[in-house]
Amino acid sequence: MAANIKGPAIFLAQFASDEAPYNSLPAIAGWAASLGYKGVQLPSWDARLFDLKTAAESKNYCDEIKEICCAAGVEITELSTHLQGQLIAVHPAYDEQFDAFAPASVHGNAAARQAWAVEQMKYAARASRNLGLDVSVSFTGALAFPYLYPWPQRPAGLIEEAFGELARRWKPILDVYDEQGVDVGYEIHPGEDVFDGATFEMFLDELGGHRRCTINYDPSHFVLQQLDYLAFIDIYHERISAFHVKDAEFNPDGRQGVYSGYQSWVDRAGRFRSLGDGQVDFSAIFSKLAQFDYDSWAVLEWECCLKHPEQGAAEGAPFISDHIIRATEKAFDDFAGGETDKQQIRQMLGL
């Protein structure tokens, strides 16, 4: 039977705030539903919306969370652990910046911060199961990213050791997800060691092909890298477990290219845009995903350097709805017959 993409849904991280209706789960879920969204992706670190530790320990709490969303008219699509996943592996160059992703009690202590992140990731595995979710989305973190460009020349073995260590940190976590029957969809993202198909393969190889290591597909990051985001689906569709619908544009000129010259977002050659305002061919993407029977959620991740978030959110639901393909269960030429008749087939072949 043909599979259908679910949606539209919206990632709440960029919208949650201390102001109504964005400051509590009932209110923000109702806001999302009022715009036409059918699902919400929860930022697991935001205590205004969700208590991750309680969710990991209490099925009753998770049932209450699901009921809040249901009453508003939406489902929970996935738990996001992007901030916690980032902290599984942090190069010391980024310690001070990434401390902001963790509680103040572990600031300035990389080992304590990592231990907190590991515990958080395991909570999210159990919470996902208590919520009845089969997929969670995250980041891998990074040890090698400061050495992205090979100048000065990298010493032999540096990248291999980085990916080996990344896998050593993640495998025990992924084993917990496996026990819970939950995939981790890693967002392929510059700033992570896993930022394209080649690095995903390196990570997966070091993990021994771990079945819970999957992909949160987001074409916007591929536009900014000038990677073929449609061919990516052809190659990795069996590992795609989640989908962030986010637009982007790349406009190189005589002054800027892929690296965009340290400019602010609005002045960069590569910029994130609201849906429909960038260069991503979403018709082709939704067709590819339908072709390969992707049957999970299409989730708006709003990040735009120009448009107001409320406008982007309001436009996002109908945009996604218009692109979701109702997969056909019959061939277009069925009307012309085609009953199987072995004798006729043999006769047509002259046998």
Give the single-character DSSP code of 155. P
CA distances to 79, 145, 174, 272 from 51, rounded to whole Å, are 11, 32, 21, 30
Kind and range of the H or E run holding 49: none
Whether the upstream peptide bond of residue 252 has omega within 30° of 0, thus cis, is no
Note the pTM of the prediction, 2 decimals.
Answer: 0.95
CA distances to 36, 181, 211, 218, 242 from 215, rounded to whole Å, are 26, 16, 11, 9, 7
Q: If phi over 0 gives left and psi between -120 and 50 gives alpha, with beta otherwise, what is residue 157?
A: left
- Quick one: which of 48, 56, 38 has its CA closest to 13? 48
The sign of the torsion formed by the CA atoms of 199, 3, 11, 183 equals negative
Residue 305, CB half-sphere, CA atoms under 13 Å: how many? 13
pLDDT (tens place) for every residue of the chain, 351 residues total: 457 999 999 999 999 999 999 999 999 999 999 999 999 999 999 999 999 999 999 999 999 999 999 999 999 999 999 999 999 999 999 999 999 999 999 999 999 999 999 999 999 999 999 999 999 999 999 999 999 999 999 999 999 999 999 999 999 999 999 999 999 999 999 999 999 999 999 999 999 999 999 999 999 999 999 999 999 999 999 999 999 999 999 999 999 999 999 999 999 999 999 999 999 999 999 999 999 999 999 999 999 999 999 999 999 999 999 999 987 677 666 656 667 789 988 999 999
3-state secondary structure 80-104: EEHHHHHCCCECHHHHHHHHHHCCH
The sign of the torsion formed by the CA atoms of 117, 119, 125, 128 equals negative
Query: Tokens 């190889």 — which residue?
Result: 205
Question: Distance between alpha carbon 280 and the CA centroid of its chain, in Å?
Answer: 16
CB 137 within 8 A of CB 82: yes
Look at residue 335 in the predicted model and tell me its pLDDT: 57
Look at residue 338 in the predicted model and tell me its pLDDT: 65
What domains are defined for the chain?
6-348 (3.20.20.150)
- Quick one: which of 55, 80, 210, 190 has its CA closest to 132? 55
- Quick one: which of 254, 140, 133, 152 has its CA closest to 191? 140
Query: Tokens 């949650």 — which residue?
Result: 16
DSSP reduced 3-state for 252: coil
Measured between alpha carbons, how far is 77 from 46 in angstroms, rounded to an integer? 16
